[in-house]
Structure 1
Amino acid sequence: MILKTLVVIPAYNEALNIEKTVFDIKKNAPEVDYVVINDGSKDNTLEVVKNNGFHHIDGFCNLGLFGAVQTGFKLALKKDYDVVIQFDGDGQHSAKYISDMVKEIEKGSDIVIGSRYVTEKKPFTARMLGSRLISTSIKIITGKKITDPTSGFRAYNKACIMDYATDMNNPPEPDTLVYMLRKKRSIKEIQVQMQDREFGESYLNLGNTIKYMSRMLISIFLIQPFRKV
């Protein structure tokens, strides 16, 4: 791997998952650097991280996904990394795909998304309804089809590291992909397999899912198309 790569792992209450996540990276992508961003966890995530000697940054309060990931982007910018990999701390992502994602950055892509649905068909389930709505909305606004816009498994090149590290209006969420496309950033998807979370629960219960979807759609149609690029 030629490009200097940092894997950013946001972790909030992931004490039961974080060991598996980091050991997966160490085993399947030993050539990359990584950092766990402990996002003010209320469980013993920080204790697990320290006991294992994992590279980490400890957030004294919960900043949310954006705050945690942007902390990693700022570190990558400061340390002059070529690529940032956004990698969830819940054990659902697999580090065996990291090298493939970095290769696509080397070929010229600005953002690479680890997608579940490049070659596999997206199921018609209530859970996937939101993903379909976001995909359709992004295509309406930009003309670009993104099959798995809610995937949190992404690689970013140096230009995008700057975009996300320095702009408070750029959370690493599906809606800002519209803004990235308007900035002429190229987005590539590669097929990956994701695992189910073993421990803990996602914050996206029914109520939070509805709020999240509403926020994404409002942003895609009413905010992102009008941002200055």
Structure 2
Amino acid sequence: MLVIIPAYNESESILSTVHDVSSLGYDYVVINDGSRDDTLEICRANGINVVDLPQNLGIGGAVQCGHKYAKQHGYDIDIQVDGDGQHDPTFIPKLVEQVVGGHDLAIGSRFVSDQEGFKSTFMRRVGIVWLSKCLLLLTGSRITDPTSGFRACGPNAISLFCESYPVDYPEPESIAAAVHRGLSVAEVPVSMRERQGGSSSIGGLSSVYYMIKVTLAIMIVSLGSRKG
């Protein structure tokens, strides 16, 4: 079992994130996605297991690199924990339990039950509800937190995502792809924290682009799978 930690300009939080993961005894790899700050230097100075991408590939490219690392090194389950400190690694066993129980992809959801913790901003929640409804309409799967990057993958999902993974804003689109390839997807109630450093890539006009791009991507994946 491997924890994948994608990181782009996460110098403020990467040490605490890695500590939270490694202190629980998990193998991990940090994927430094061409950070322009001191993320890589901090990792190397502290003996952190890091793969350094020579340029910024975006979150999708970084996560796919992590899946390929997991497959190459013989891990049959991997778990994505973002480098900004939002994800609480103590919930990892609940995600893994769903994969061991037969699901291919387990998603940590802030909304599947009345979990305490950070729920995101109002406008982000509006977008989450919209994408959730799109996934339900186009895939038949009810996913309450489709933008969550806190997720565990079994062998089938790892193989699929090594083969193909969306480049930017990948979470909702990758769910659609998994469902249409016949993979089983489950949600697990988790609590999340506010990011411990850095800033989100989604804000202002980029949030409008995000919603349009992801909605169209889900539609394309869904229509393409029906034609196939």
TM-score between the two structures when normalised by the length of structure 1: 0.92
Q: Distance in 2 between matches of 1:139 and 1:212?
A: 19
Q: Distance in 1 between matches of 2:41 and 2:112?
A: 38
- Pairing 1:1-229 to 2, within 5 Å after superposition: 5-27=1-23, 29-30=24-25, 32-120=26-114, 125-167=122-164, 172-227=170-225
Partner amino acid, structure 1, of 2:19: F
Q: Distance in 1 between matches of 2:36 and 2:76?
A: 33
- What SS does the aligned partner of 2:172 have? coil
Q: Distance in 1 between matches of 2:120 and 2:182?
A: 30
Q: Distance in 1 between matches of 2:151 and 2:97?
A: 13
- Is the contact between residue 14 and residue 39 of structure 2 (CA under 8 Å) also seen in structure 1? yes
In the TM superposition, structure 1's runs of 4+ consecutive aligned residues that sit over 6 Å from their partners are 121-124
Distance 1:181 1:139, change over 3 A: same
Q: What are the Cα deviations for residues 110-129 of structure 1, in whole angstroms up to 9, with x where unaligned? A: 10001001112879932211
Partner amino acid, structure 2, of 1:136: K
Q: What are the Cα deviations for residues 34-58 of structure 1, in whole angstroms up to 9, with x where unaligned? A: 0000111000001110111010101
Sequence identity of aligned pairs in percent?
39
- Is the contact between residue 164 and residue 170 of structure 1 (CA under 8 Å) also seen in structure 2? no
Structure 1 residue 170: deviation in Å?
A: 7.7
Structure 1 residue 169: deviation in Å?
A: 5.3
Structure 1 residue 223: deviation in Å?
A: 3.6
- Is the contact between residue 60 and residue 166 of structure 2 (CA under 8 Å) also seen in structure 1? no
Q: Distance in 2 between matches of 1:169 and 1:11?
A: 17
- What SS does the aligned partner of 1:173 have? helix
Partner amino acid, structure 2, of 1:150: T
- What SS does the aligned partner of 2:106 have? strand
Distance 1:120 1:225, change over 3 A: farther
Q: What are the Cα deviations for residues 153-195 of structure 1, in whole angstroms up to 9, with x where unaligned? A: 0100001111001225587420221121111111111111100
- Is the contact between residue 14 and residue 83 of structure 2 (CA under 8 Å) also seen in structure 1? yes
Please provide the CA RMSD for this pair.
Answer: 1.9
Q: Distance in 2 between matches of 1:125 and 1:39?
A: 29
Q: Distance in 2 between matches of 1:203 and 1:222?
A: 24
Distance 1:51 1:169, change over 3 A: closer
Distance 1:226 1:61, change over 3 A: same
Distance 1:149 1:167, change over 3 A: same
